Amino acid sequence: MRAGYDLPPLMFSRDEIVALVAGARTVRPPGLWFRGKVWTLIAWCGLRDGFRMFRIGRIKDIREKDRFRAERDKSLAVFFSRERLCGQAT
């Protein structure tokens, strides 16, 4: 038996494993949301190719990269419409 975790080979891509371990992602944040008792960054995650929510208090480092063009399918309105469909928006 060896130390560590064996992940199923198709569960995560190599880039996803690196990002999960390092905690580094490139995101496109259209907004902030005060949800419950915490501020949350709503962002399109290029790694996971979808919207993700990141608690502001857990973000350790922010670096500005190249600016991005607004895309209709990555807007705050689309995020909230998807949240309502899933029954998660408050």
Q: Please indicate, yes or no, if residue 3 is contained in any of the structural domains.
A: no
Domain residue limits at 52: 14-61+70-86
Query: Which strand (E) or helix (H) includes residue 86?
Result: helix 76-86
pLDDT attached to residue 22: 66
Question: How many structural domains is the chain composed of?
Answer: 1
- Is the pLDDT score of 59 beyond 70? yes
pLDDT score at 1: 38
Non-local (6+) Cβ contacts of 41 within 8 A are 27, 29, 32, 53, 54, 55, 56, 59
Given a cut of 60, whether residue 10 has pLDDT beyond it is no
d(CA 14, CA 7): 11
The span from the CA of 25 to the CA of 19, in Å, is 6
Which pLDDT value is given to residue 79?
86
- pLDDT the model gives residue 12: 63
- Tell me which of 53-57, 65-69, 79-83 is least confident: 65-69
